[in-house]
Structure 1
Amino acid sequence: MEASSNKSEAQHIAYLWGSWFAITCLWILAAFHVLSGASPVWLGIVVLPVVLVAGYLKPHLATFACVFLIYSNLPVVAAQFHGLPYAVVAMTPAMLLLPLGYFLWIKEEGVIFPWEGMLVVGMVVVQSFGVMFSRAPDESFTDLVRSIFEGLGLFFLVINAIRTPVILRGSLWALLATGAFMGAVTGHQYFTNNYQSNYGGLAQADQLGFSEVNERGVSIVRARSAGPVGEKNRYAQNMLMLLPIGVCLALTERKHWLKYAAWAATGLTVIGWAVTFSRGSVVGLAGTIVVAVFLGYLRPRVLVAMGIAAVLFVAVMPAYRERITSLLAASSLLSSTQSAEEADGSLRSRATIMMAAANVIAENPILGVGQGMFPYYAREYGKKSGYSVLQGNWEAHNLYLGIGADSGLLGLSCFLAAIGVVMVRLHRIRRRLLESNPTAALIATAFVFTLLIYLMSGMFLHYSYIRYFWLLFAMASATATLYAQKSPSVPASRGVSELF
């Protein structure tokens, strides 16, 4: 009986590997067919059954692929630079319907919707009421629909697709692989100074950049990488949020080659963040470290190591010294008008727009002015600040002021409460499992750091490109839900080699 069972299991394994070999061959043939000049329609004809078969054999692979595609922004790049229909791009999260269907109908498990999900729904309800009273209801409604699909919809799909520690760990590796991929491309662009090429849309750059005085005393213009996102500060934030995940994987993998791979991928992610020369992300990182010390997450020796790493980092990339020094100009905004005129133009504009958003909230405190409507009020309310004159429609350049202006204090409260609930749950998991399941505790800690980085860097970035945040927030919520159980069904210490 036992021999028969072993034979059946061996046949099943052989069938799975044979199926994946056939799928790989189909992908290669389809790719060569398209590269030879054939219509991309043939690629779709081959890809559709491949995706369906793969989703049936290994549903969690669709989760990993979806995480990689969303965070790398590859579908959007394919649409903007290579003609992929936007309808196909919009369907990327639909890949998660494969694991969702697997868990609901094959495994006969229930729908997962944690308490923080109700707060997300509350935010959508507030935004919906705000649309009714906005200056341009049709445009505001369009922005609301996009926000629902990239926010609540993605949140629901992700938390229902990540149900085991193995799938969670694979999703973390998918995120880290994304960071390594983007860091390698933008790092190559920086070190070769090849800013004339955008690498097929994978390494977009701000050619205006910033002025830097080189070792010869000559002022030069340093370009800033925007990666596949196309916005340098957002790209910096996205890469920075991956660093705690990379460190977590490097510390918790059992096999040495996986540890080395995780450290190497984390290093590439650091490079991707560094070549953006984002001042806001530096301040966000510093704020995160301060909060982490207050929470007791960082030991003195870790702080010393981070200090040494920071010194080496500035030594390797001295341009950051001028970028960080320029932040001191912000203090002049609080003094006389004359000194404000000497301050960095970017800082003056940001101060103006933030004051404008604060004025909007003061006059529309409950529901705000409607989802996506603040830019139409920016110039009018910006005149009251006296720091700068705004031209055109500006975003708030501050997460909290932006949400408050669009959705009022009610919407902002729902948003912050949802994040707060998840962070409290993760903090409790860390304390409970630090001794019995250190891997789970470190994963929870990594997501606390990730959310803190988003909140801190949000002081300089508005509520946009929200799919990145909601993807990570949903994964943090899935982690909190998964380890809320006393004994998860699958050990969290399984390596990535056991995912396939």
Structure 2
Amino acid sequence: MIFPLSIISLLGLVCLGLLASPYPFLAPGAVIGLVGVAVLYRKPGWGLLGIVALVPFEGFFKDSALSGTKFVGASLALILMLQLAIHQIPSERLRSNIWRYLIWFMVLYLLSTLNTDDMGISMGHLRELSVGLILFVITLLVGRELNLDLFAKLVTLSVAITCAMTMFSVKYQDQGRASGLLEDANAFAMLIAFAVPMGLLLVIRSPNVLHRLFWGVCCLVLLGGMTKTESRSGLVVLFLSLIIGVWHYRAELTRIRPRHLGFAMLGLVIAIPLAIYAMPAGYIARIQSLSILSAGAKSQDESLGRRASYIVVGSQMIRENPLLGSGPGTFPLHYATTGYAKAFSANRKVGDLYRRAHNTYLEIFSELGIPAGLLFVGMLGLGLYNLIRARRACLQRRDWQQADLMTHLGMSFLSLTLFLMFLSAPNQKYVWIMLALTSVLRLKAEEAPLQEAKA
């Protein structure tokens, strides 16, 4: 404990120095920092849970150079580096099958950066991506001690709170669409789709009626927030993940008796009209546009027209630079020079010409090249496979609760991977945390001895 004591002594001297300085009011902050460092040193998993809980609230710090997640993440990274250096954390925890894809992805990323069309933009993109990479390493190091039930509770509660804020205040809406504390309604819908499977798990696992009622209300708030975003992609992703959940619990459906079916049908007859009535008229119109795939409909729907133009521009970029792409973050530069940018920026500000692809996979393939794109897709696919293997190992040990947990985490991770087709978010924090967590959960499940099986 020599290192921690030296740090405590150093922070104590800082407090004394601040008290003697012209800024004595900063001294309590140093004391709070001292307590935070001590807590993170003893319980680094709490730091990761803190980051998870703060992600939906990052909008509060958008005008600040140092957000809550960055502060906790930087502190946690330094503490873990120290613990690795003095061998308090075994380096074997960094073992993951994701590295085989991630290392080569980063090699191609750096080569694409050297060959970029704009070095300044690419370096900014690298700085943003580095946050995700740091969270990936942090999760590998502390994931084994992570309380997954608390993880699900924090995600559900934090996203539900932001949903409630958007439902009762126009301040958190963008042109009538709920965006929470984020700048994009689809990015907010991504958080909701990620949280819903965890909220449903809490409803199923709750020990009593009051707890089930609380988490059930949270789930309803999440669904209400999804309707306020008017995100068509969010509705599609949420529907697919719920189908997977029904398939997982198909054995429970055999317990339904004819009398239960009647009550269920009555509930649907009441709930469906109420849901349609509660949906904003604009959301219903946007959903109806998905059923019409003619060229005329695309031209009438500005959003679908823009997305089609992204695919055209991205495909051209891939043909021009198939190996290394045009450089990280350079898609908006290429899009701004096309006629599509001018056509879809009528009555908008000049900066609106520079648009991202709103599709992470298309953006990576066009900016980094086909090999890097395949590696990125391979990483996410391997993450889903890890959760499938972890669930299979739990089923073999008849650990049904853990298998349910793996299923719901898989639903949440699948929601993220599907949403990346509708959103440019390669540095989304939940993506990198979950990617590392998949390999940790698989290793834990496969290393668990058979004698720990639950009857």
Higher fraction of helix: 2
| Deviations 1:181-231, CA, capped at 9 Å, x for gaps | 212222332xxxxx2xx3xxxxx221x3xxxxxxxxxxxxxx111111121
Residues 382 and 433 of structure 1: is their aligned pair in 2 closer, same or farther, counting only changes over 3 Å?
farther
1:393 aligns with 2:354: yes
1:73 aligns with 2:57: yes
Residues 367 and 39 of structure 1: is their aligned pair in 2 closer, same or farther, counting only changes over 3 Å?
farther
In 1, distance between residues paired with 2:103 and 2:32?
Answer: 35
| AA at the equivalent of 1:371 | P
| AA at the equivalent of 2:425 | Y
- Give 1:459 deviation, angstroms: 2.6
In 1, distance between residues paired with 2:359 and 2:46?
Answer: 36
Q: In the comparison of the two structures, how many residue pairs are matched?
A: 412
| Superposition map of 1:28-427 within 5 A | 41-69=26-54, 71-74=55-58, 76-80=59-63, 84-86=64-66, 90-97=70-77, 100=80, 104=84, 105=86, 107-110=88-91, 111-147=93-129, 149-164=130-145, 167-189=147-169, 195=170, 198=171, 204-206=172-174, 208=175, 223-254=176-207, 257-288=210-241, 292=244, 296-297=247-248, 299=250, 301=253, 308=268, 312-317=274-279, 319=281, 320-329=283-292, 331-333=293-295, 340-341=298-299, 343-380=300-337, 392-427=353-388
| AA at the equivalent of 2:56 | S
Runs (5+) with no aligned partner, structure 1:
1-37, 190-194, 199-203, 209-222, 493-500
Are the equivalent residues in 1 in contact too, given 2:51–2:69 (CA < 8 A)? no
Equivalent pairs: percent with the same residue? 23
**Which residue in 2 is equivalent to 1:455?**
417
**Which residue in 2 is equivalent to 1:3?**
none
Are the equivalent residues in 2 in contact too, given 1:62–1:98 (CA < 8 A)? no
Are the equivalent residues in 2 in contact too, given 1:229–1:235 (CA < 8 A)? yes
| Deviations 1:337-361, CA, capped at 9 Å, x for gaps | x6654x2112111211221112211
Tell me the secondary structure at the aligned position of residue 140 of structure 1: helix
Runs (5+) with no aligned partner, structure 2:
1-22, 255-260, 347-351
| Deviations 1:34-92, CA, capped at 9 Å, x for gaps | xxxx99734522321120232245443223212212x2233x52352xxx443776333
In 2, distance between residues paired with 1:413 and 1:54?
Answer: 40
| AA at the equivalent of 1:156 | V
| AA at the equivalent of 1:170 | L
- Give 1:286 deviation, angstroms: 3.5
- Give 1:403 deviation, angstroms: 1.2
Residues 361 and 40 of structure 1: is their aligned pair in 2 closer, same or farther, counting only changes over 3 Å?
farther
| Deviations 1:13-35, CA, capped at 9 Å, x for gaps | xxxxxxxxxxxxxxxxxxxxxxx
Residues 465 and 40 of structure 1: is their aligned pair in 2 closer, same or farther, counting only changes over 3 Å?
farther
| Deviations 1:152-196, CA, capped at 9 Å, x for gaps | 2111111211213x623322222122122212222332xxxxx2x
| AA at the equivalent of 1:352 | S
| Deviations 1:93-112, CA, capped at 9 Å, x for gaps | 12433773697557543332
- Give 1:444 deviation, angstroms: 1.3
Tell me the secondary structure at the aligned position of residue 147 of structure 2: helix
Tell me the secondary structure at the aligned position of residue 380 of structure 2: helix
Residues 450 and 363 of structure 1: is their aligned pair in 2 closer, same or farther, counting only changes over 3 Å?
same
**Which residue in 1 is equivalent to 2:9?**
none
In 2, distance between residues paired with 1:372 and 1:436?
Answer: 47
Tell me the secondary structure at the aligned position of residue 372 of structure 1: coil
| Superposition map of 1:459-498 within 5 A | 459-464=421-426, 466-487=428-449
In 2, distance between residues paired with 1:490 and 1:174?
Answer: 28
**Which residue in 2 is equivalent to 1:26?**
none
| AA at the equivalent of 2:408 | A
Are the equivalent residues in 2 in contact too, given 1:55–1:98 (CA < 8 A)? no
